[in-house]
């Protein structure tokens, strides 16, 4: 995939909890908090299962990104999905999100900058959209290790407005490659 051809396909947010997020013309990212007006906006964790574990832990899941290529793959298997339906805030095309290392930084549009914190672990809420969708978002690697395909999570380092059609660029960061793990 050509990194310099990567774009934002759609942006989504939802004020309440629930897996699907309606598409918007634009979303505003706020440094250290996430997507303004989204249920997961804040410095501390907002995902309900993680709040039950420890409501004071830092929010490493401020922005959820999914690659539109996953939607294509799932459509070939009979799942009809549209951007935002799986709970993502930003749907991209042309960038291998799952191949990024932990700590990779992405420029979204002109000013927004996010840092990838880890993988989204497919959850049972996906079953409410389509039976079998959760399993379809999981695979096995060559050594039998689980491969989670439901996108990546990020924190906002620099705020800004993001809209469909904006460019996505990986901002180079020297250092060790740390493989993504679920957050």
Helix, coil or strand: residue 136: helix
At residue 124, what are phi and psi to the nearest 5 degrees? Answer: -65, -20
| pLDDT tens by residue, 62-99 | 999 999 999 999 999 999 999 999 999 999 999 999 99
Positive or negative torsion for Cα 87, 148, 48, 33: negative
pLDDT above 60: residue 2? no
* Nearest alpha carbon to residue 183 among 162, 164, 155, 163: 155
In order, the DSSP letters of 74-124 are HHHTT----TTTTS-SEEEESS-GGGSPTT-EEEETTTEEEEEEEEPPP-T
Compute the average pLDDT of residues 24-48: 97
| pLDDT tens by residue, 103-127 | 999 999 999 999 999 999 998 999 9
Question: What's the pTM?
Answer: 0.94
Q: Percentage of the chain with pLDDT > 90?
A: 89
Looking at residue 1, its pLDDT comes to: 44
Which of the following CATH numbers is that of domain 3-171: 2.40.33.20, 3.30.1330.100, 2.60.40.420, 3.90.1150.10? 2.40.33.20
How many angstroms separate the CA atoms of 5 and 23, rounded?
Answer: 22
CB of 13 closer than 8 Å to CB of 38: yes
For the chain, which residues make up each domain, given as ranges? Answer: 3-171
pLDDT above 50: residue 61? yes
Confidence of residue 4 (pLDDT cuts 50, 70, 90): low
In order, the DSSP letters of 23-35 are EESEEEEETTTEE
How many angstroms separate the CA atoms of 17 and 155, rounded?
Answer: 19
């Amino acid at each position: 995939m050509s990194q310099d051809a990567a774009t934002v396909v759609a942006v989504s947010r939802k004020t309440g909890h629930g897996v699907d997020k309606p598409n918007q013309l634009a979303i505003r990212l706020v440094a250290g908090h996430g997507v303004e007006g989204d249920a997961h906006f804040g410095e501390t964790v907002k995902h309900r299962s993680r709040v039950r574990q420890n409501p004071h832990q830092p929010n490493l899941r401020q922005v959820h990104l999914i690659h539109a290529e996953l939607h294509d793959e799932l459509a070939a298997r009979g799942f009809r999905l549209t951007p935002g339906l799986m709970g993502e805030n930003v749907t991209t095309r042309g960038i291998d999100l799952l191949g990024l290392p932990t700590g990779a930084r992405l420029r979204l549009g002109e000013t927004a900058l996010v840092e990838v914190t880890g993988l989204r672990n497919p959850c049972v809420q996906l079953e409410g959209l389509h039976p079998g969708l959760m399993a379809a978002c999981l695979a096995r690697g060559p050594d039998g290790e689980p491969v989670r395909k439901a996108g990546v999570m990020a924190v906002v380092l620099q705020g800004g407005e993001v809209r469909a059609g904006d460019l996505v660029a990986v901002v180079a960061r020297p250092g060790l490659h740390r493989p993504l793990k679920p957050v």
